[in-house]
Chain A
Amino acid sequence: MISLTLHVWRQKGPEVRGSFETYRMKDVDPEISFLEMMDLLNEQLAGDGKVPVVFDSDCREGICGSCSMVVNGRPHGPGEACTTCQVRMRQFNDGDELWIEPFRARAFPLVRDLMVNRSALDRVIESGGYISVHSGPKPEPNSIPISHPVAEEAMDAAECIGCGACVAACPNASAMLFTSAKVHHLNLLPQGQPEAKSRVLNMVHKMDEERFGACTNLAECQDACPKDISIRFISAMNRDYQLAALVDPIKRKGTLESQ
């Protein structure tokens, strides 16, 4: 069992000033997960007549992307390629002090305590992160063979869980890693070709409009990414963007209605 001192960011809402509050936790089982420790903290707070800490979490197995905490200055906390819910308490030592904060970025307004609003990422997808298809008869998949390496690379990019740790880790709060992962996933596949140019142009423009910062190749995003998404995809997106801007500077299908 270990004892910890937690400094947790408490803020009632976006308009109110926040600050760290300090709590002591005793007898924490090192086998439990970080979020189970947070559950215990909340049980303790409720028992003391205080208001529990608000934080997002859902699947608790590292795939839903709800986690949005920074632990000791690192998005998702210690550990290679994992989300906060996958961090186990055995990674900490008895007597450790932990600083727990929300993801911080201009594009992620705070909701309460450790909960932030990441809907800007949805709006980036909305601007072109899809292949337009209706539900109905489609070609037989094997009629368009996709080589194993291409399918695997598309999957490497598609693994993004949309948590926003890349944005939280970036000193510029840039969403290039997130955006490039989706652009690369779809632009690599034959099915993604018809919309490849408009996709990259629209998604990059939307990203800027949502007030994410610019990329200055610091690679902090890659380091913080729980799914090991590579910054190679940013280079690929930049190349796609240049080509699309040069070759096909048209507007989005704008006038084409949903059939």
Chain B
Amino acid sequence: MELNSAIPEGSVQDKWGNHLEHVKLVGPNNRPSYDVIVVGSGLAGASAASSLAAQGYNVHCFCFQDTPRRAHSIAAQGGINAAKNYREDGDTIYRLFYDTQKGGDFRAREANVYRLAQLSTRIIDQATAQGVPFAREYGGHLANRSFGGVLVSRTFYCRGQTGQQLLLGAYQSMQRQIFDGKLTMHPRTELQDIVTIDGRARGIVVRDLVTGEIKSHAADAVVLASGGYGNVYFKSTNAINSNVTAAWRAHRRGAAFANPSYIQIHPTCIPVSGNFQCKLTLMSESLRNDGRVWVPKQKGDTRAPSQIPESERYYYLEEKYPSFGNLVPRDVASRNAKLVCDDGFGVEGSDSRAVYLDFKDAISRQGKDVISEKYGNLFDMYEEITAQNPYQSPFKIYPAVHYCMGGLWVDYNLMTNIPGLYAVGEANFSDHGANRLGASSLMQCLADGYFVLPQTIGNYLHDIFRDKVGTDHPAFRQHEADAKDRIDRLMSIGGSQTPLSLHRKLGDIVWEHCGMARNGEGLKSAIDQIAEVRDEFWNDLHIPGGADGVNQSLERAGRVADFIELADLMCHDALDRDESCGCHFREEHQTPEGEVVRNDEKFSNVSAWEFKGEGQAHVKHCEPIEYDLLKPMTRSYK
């Protein structure tokens, strides 16, 4: 396997500009003769599909939901970053690049991150033109808020529903293209396989989730915008149907999977409440703008929070990180919450795995009305779920699985190592290194979909002009037969455990050993336990109903089968990366204060894993990370 990152010549600042001047193009007259498949309709998929269709390509977009507007990007709350410097507080393109690289603990590709920072400002322009109702100040200009890991105020927002509004903007652009006949939407359709012919991506095999029918679609290029795989943990902030299947099927057909163990655990979530819970609820990081995080100084303190005087409270983030305080990056905030709870300072309920997030000072300083206008929906949501009023007593929070920095390996053009197969948004690995900063995922998804892919896809399509393959090619028959076989195999096991119960079992193992803290011993034991779950799955699975028509148990079973294989790779990746960096906290590598210790000499690289076949060990390929503009330093938020 050859990994060519295709980073253009020139200084980091000039690479994107140079690239655009030399990239090959497809003329408007020829674009309608190209078919492009987009899998997924979230921010990355919808923005890519609508942009490509508007350019004139013939686009087919697939999603498993009943309409593209329900993709999980819709749940992003807090905001989207852009280096507009509207506050005149020292923001620049370089500063956004710097923050992202530092936030990612110097494990991201410099050229990609700089391009992301450059494109960030145009996203705000684009979304505003689409009618996205960003928050405005009284003078009519755009408002900003702050997010973790930065010292400027560069986050744009629509109340607590920024993802929803940006997604609806992209969705509406798609609907317009559908009206014009340039885009065909295939809802309630799930990918089963990627079809490669002579080493190139030529189409996909899908299952119609309503009829159960297996069908093929041929195309000149396939774009995966299928999101992240946080649901490997069973309990996560992802939508319950979010899955790794599209990315994993591509991986099994030869696409390298990069840094699978880089998982972001979001610090401000509602703590786990019971065994039957299958979904964790996140509350926007923006709460840390005004809320103060603390635990009682006395272990096992059972007093109500209001009864605990100031002098007996431990504001651990403010004390340990005076310059960033409560706005440290997510990995740091999460790890410290875990540490204080491990040490027995967690607050009552949820097995003492929770800390306080307190708005008492903010309410007395700014007034309840102001706080309510800023965060009202989050306060309501918390009360609805926990039946406690956060205006009166502090929120109880605990970290939960949220985002995957890892994903399919892509080059600078966002193409995987399979020619013609692209990955955009959370599905790729490219821009966030070992930890993503808040409000940067929306930015990356939309930069990929609106501005990068539409300019780089022509570079590939230009070279394959008039080289068409249809679904009558035998490879499609073969892939369809494979997909049917797999479904038959799943349906015929006839055991006793449901996909949901096996999924929960898998999730508990991965959370325990490959979650917020990892160590060699634990990872090895997790690998053994995952193998056991895999055996149980393929020998004792029970799927009620039949394979014709709607069968949600079958859908879940297919996803869990892929999660089991992914979990194994995640643990191998975490075991192999014998250093700590960003979210990847190997307990063997920490300072006495519990901060991460990187090993730049050995691990300044991307681990891209190659699938070698069923039951065979994956093979690692390393893409070295080069630092031209910003040399790695010890990441400090003190």
Contact = CB atoms under 8 A, between A and B. Distances in A.
A142 B141 contact: yes
Contacts of B241: 58
B551 to A, nearest CB: 8
Interface stretch (B15-23, B94-102, B381-389, B408-416): B381-389
A66 B66 contact: yes
B74 interface: yes
A246 interface: no
A209 interface: no
B5 interface: no
A111 interface: yes
A54 B385 contact: no
A127 B136 CA distance: 29
Given A63-B161, A145-B139, A58 B72 contact: yes
B452 to A, nearest CB: 10
A131 B185 CA distance: 19
* Category for how many chain B residues contact A: 35 or more
Contacts of A159: 159, 161, 164
B122 interface: yes
Given A39-B276, A191-B131, A141 B142 contact: yes
**Chain A CB within 10 A, most for which of B124, B179, B185, B500:** B179
A40 B500 CA distance: 10
Interface string B497-512: 0101100000000000
Interface string B250-280: 0000000000000000000000011011110
Interface string B554-593: 0000000000000000000000000000000000000000
Contacts of B122: 137-138
Interface string B520-563: 00000000000000000000001011000110110000000000
Contacts of B240: 57-60
Given A130-B172, A158-B168, A258-B182, A191 B129 contact: yes
A142 B128 CA distance: 10
Interface SS of A by simple majority: loop
Contacts of A40: 276
Given A29-B274, A125-B171, 7 more contacts: A32-B273, A43-B498, A66-B65, A111-B210, A115-B550, A121-B67, A142-B142
21 contacts: A29-B276, A36-B276, A43-B500, A51-B545, A54-B550, A57-B240, A60-B278, A61-B75, A62-B381, A64-B239, A66-B65, A66-B70, A118-B67, A126-B179, A130-B173, A131-B130, A133-B126, A137-B125, A151-B134, A158-B165, A185-B133
Interface of B: 47, 50-51, 53-54, 56, 65-72, 74-75, 86, 122, 124-126, 128-131, 133-142, 158-159, 161, 164-165, 168, 171-173, 175-180, 182, 185, 187, 210, 239-241, 273-274, 276-279, 281-282, 381, 384-385, 387, 450-451, 454, 498, 500-501, 542, 544-545, 549-550, 552-553
Closest 3 A-B residue pairs measured CB to CB?
A: A145-B140, A130-B172, A138-B125
Interface of A: 12-13, 29, 31-33, 36, 39-40, 42-43, 45-47, 49-52, 54, 56-66, 79, 82, 86, 88, 90, 111-112, 115, 117-119, 121-122, 125-127, 129-142, 144-148, 150-151, 154-155, 158-159, 161-162, 185-186, 189, 191-192, 257-259
